[in-house]
Amino acid sequence: VPIPVKGVFPTEATGLEPDSDCSLSFIDGSSDLSGYSNYESVEDNPDAVISLLREEESKGFCTFYESLSDVQKAVDGKPLVLTKVAIVPKAGTVPQKYRLICDARRNNLNRHVVVREHLVLPRVIDAVADVCHLMSASHGDHVNAMVIDFESAFRTLPLDRRELHYHVVKVKNYYVLFRCLIFGLKSSPVLWGRAAAQATRLAQLLYDSRDPDCGRIETFVDDPFIAVKAAT
């Protein structure tokens, strides 16, 4: 589903059209999936993957189905595109936790995704400049700063129903339909960036409407840096 360019981020000079020479592998009720497999990290530890996906399901990010016909009904009968998955251990987690990676390049899905913009992130010097500016303001006593994190940032953006059939993974005998952006899709960073940029601008307006020198916000992908100067 096309998303119009709004001029917030720079546009890409190349890669504006999908790769028409690269076909997607659709599956339906007649497809033979007996030899289908994911990456070795998943095949060697399927229970950890199922547990991770069940946690995602509890948050409303995906839905489990036990048959191909059931998941096809959920996407209005459209043929499916399966995406292979892998897991990567998160460093320093006890008990061990994993990050789920969906390889939308291996199944050629990314070659059909048109990304017309690219993100422009703030620099560290921008955050430093914000703090220096607030320190020079005449009001207030101290500058307080903090960094917060959007948990599962990509997952907070729901998919258009017409695109659901492109976002299915198969683990063991389960079909898992994602209802939000997946980590590994070429367009996910820009789509999240657009949402984060809008949220940051709206939040900045709360400061600007009171006093432009009251606070500043810079969002580094999914980590907003917030600096505020006020009386303590």
What is the SS3 assignment for 159-184? CCHHHHHHCEEEECCEEEEECECCCC
Q: Nearest to residue 15, comparing CAs of 120, 110, 107, 114?
A: 114
pLDDT of 4 reads: 77
Do 9 and 120 touch, CB atoms closer than 8 A?
A: yes
pLDDT of 206 reads: 87
Sign of CA dihedral 74, 78, 82, 83: negative
pLDDT of 6 reads: 77
pLDDT of 232 reads: 61
Alpha-carbon gap, residue 112 to 177, rounded angstroms:
19
pLDDT of 116 reads: 84
pLDDT of 19 reads: 58
- The segments of the chain whose pLDDT lies below 50 read none
Q: Looking at domain 26-230, what is its CATH homologous superfamily? A: HIV Type 1 Reverse Transcriptase, subunit A, domain 1 (3.10.10.10)
pLDDT of 208 reads: 79
Alpha-carbon gap, residue 115 to 15, rounded angstroms:
8
pLDDT of 62 reads: 97
Do 17 and 112 touch, CB atoms closer than 8 A?
A: no
pLDDT of 39 reads: 94
pLDDT of 33 reads: 84
